[in-house]
Amino acid sequence: MIVVHKIALDPNKEQETFFRKSAGCARFAYNWALAEWQKQHEAGGTPNEAALRKLLNAIKAEAFPWLLEVSKNVIQQAIKNLGAAFAHFFRRLEEYRHELDPRRKKRLARKLGYPKFKKKGRCRDAFRADNGPPTTGADAVRVDGIYVVLPVIGRIRMRERLRFVGQVKSAVVSRTADRWFVSLSVEVPEEVLPRKSHAAVGVDLGIATLATVSDGRDPYEAPKPLKTLAKKRRRLGKALARKQGPGPGKAPSKNFLKAKRRLARLEARIANIRIHATHEATTDLCRTCAAIVLEDLSVSGMLANHKIASSLADVGFSEFRRQVEYKAQRYACTVQLAPRFFPSSKMCSRCGHVNDNLKLSDRTWTCPACGTTHDRDVNAAQNLASLAESTPATACGAAGAGPRRTPRTKLAATKQELNGGIKSQS
């Protein structure tokens, strides 16, 4: 099992300069390989990342001698990343081949994730070092107490120790605002972490509260950092706009760069507050449940509603689902998805009647069929819980089959409901 620990670094000025140089070389190698890929494809060839790596190795000493100042691992991994990006694109192309209009090439490429060129200042500064086959000496990525050892640069101090014991497989050094981080991938033995309960629950995600659970526990509140810090963000954005930025034939002023760093630090703080709340909620869920039913939400479609788009982005539905899915594997927890158009909020959890007149602004409603008064979010969570399929953990109280390398996510079968409710789709 591969686990990743992201740790803040404490580099000196020389090491930080090397980080920036390595990130720039990785960006150049990626862009060069993408341009060469497109050139070979237009000429009728069949490019691949292995051939491009060999080609760059053959010419870089004469054509790009400054690439020799950083680890060869950085350059090779950048081109491997391009190969992985194209593999993802072709996989998506095959998956949606019959649903897309080939005449709309630009929209098609954007939808399927065709690799794009990375622009300095617009893309994330990052580079990767990979141990791959057993390596020794300067090319080895390893952890030495509170230090991480990287090729060429050597020992860099970390802000905390690595939490996992195992073989370090790779390291990705990245920059967020003005701070540098290392993400260490570690191979550890597979194990099932202890769970506190064998219950199956439904989880309703929302804007007012991050998640409401069907078992009656207190809902997980959304910190809404974007809304809380909106005034400060707007003020820093205006201050940045008043400074002399980069333009044709002129460099940005020092005050512009300072204002840009202030805004970037605030954006990072907003993201950290949001991700911290999501981690706390998803970890608690996976520790206390054997089966979790979530809605299969179309977040991109919901963001088209400009009235709630900002609030939706402030809670992070997609990130919540991603975290639940990977953490569930470690706790032997099953994740199920309700059908996308399942009326979890509109259906009475007691009698099954569907209230088509329910509006988004209605937080409580009374069922016209049985007279039960519902809290909108609690009712939706209870309806989702009713879709939970029987698993070894929920039926027998066992620990389950243990963690697996493939996600334990599956579509929940819709049950037969009363009074005109949703019928089984099987």
- Side by side, the strands of the sheet bearing 2-8 are 2-8, 179-187, 167-176, 126-130
List residues bridging with 187 in a β-sheet. Answer: 2, 167
Whose tokens are 């989702």? That residue is 384
Residue 395: pLDDT band by 50, 70, 90 thresholds? very low
- What's the confidence (pLDDT) of residue 405? 38
| More confident: 72 or 391 | 72
Q: Is the Cβ–Cβ distance between 203 and 292 less than 8 Å?
A: yes
Domain count, the chain: 2
| More confident: 251 or 26 | 26
- What's the confidence (pLDDT) of residue 398? 39
- What's the confidence (pLDDT) of residue 397? 39
- Side by side, the strands of the sheet bearing 211-213 are 211-213, 200-205, 291-295, 334-338, 409-411
CA 205 to CA 219: how far, in whole Å?
A: 10
285 plus 380 within the same structural domain: yes
Q: Is residue 374 part of a domain?
A: yes
Instruction: Locate the DSSP E strands across 71-166.
Output: 126-130, 142-144, 147-150, 154-157
13 plus 81 within the same structural domain: yes
> Does the annotation mark 325 as catalytic?
no
The whole-chain average pLDDT of the chain stands at 86
Phi/psi of residue 76, nearest 5 degrees: -65, -40
- What's the confidence (pLDDT) of residue 414? 47
In the numeric block, which tokens belong to residue 331?
């706790």
- Catalytic residue of the set 49, 325, 377, 417: 377
- Catalytic residue of the set 204, 314, 325, 417: 204
CA 202 to CA 234: how far, in whole Å?
A: 38
Residue 389: pLDDT band by 50, 70, 90 thresholds? low
Side-chain-facing half-sphere of 236: CA atoms under 13 Å: 16
Alpha-carbon torsion 361, 365, 368, 370, what sign? positive
244 plus 283 within the same structural domain: yes
- Segment 41-79, tens digit of pLDDT: 999 999 999 999 999 999 999 999 999 999 999 999 999
- What's the confidence (pLDDT) of residue 184? 96
Query: What average pLDDT does range 137-166 have in this prediction?
Result: 88
- What's the confidence (pLDDT) of residue 219? 93
Dihedral angle at the C-alpha atoms of 281, 287, 288, 294, nearest 10 degrees? 60
157 plus 229 within the same structural domain: no
- What's the confidence (pLDDT) of residue 399? 40
- Segment 332-375, tens digit of pLDDT: 899 999 988 899 999 998 898 999 888 888 889 999 989 899 99
- Tell me how many degrees the CA angle 11-14-18 measures, rounded to the nearest 5: 90
> Does the annotation mark 204 as catalytic?
yes
Q: Is the Cβ–Cβ distance between 149 and 155 less than 8 Å?
A: yes
173 plus 259 within the same structural domain: no
Residue 133 pLDDT more than 70? no
- Catalytic residue of the set 49, 125, 130, 295: 295
> Does the annotation mark 218 as catalytic?
no
* Domain end (from 136, 157, 187): 187
Query: What average pLDDT does range 84-95 have in this prediction?
Result: 90
Residue 99 pLDDT more than 50? yes
Q: Is residue 421 part of a domain?
A: no
CA 153 to CA 151: how far, in whole Å?
A: 6
Domain range holding 43? 2-187
- What's the confidence (pLDDT) of residue 37? 96
Q: What is the pTM of this model?
A: 0.82
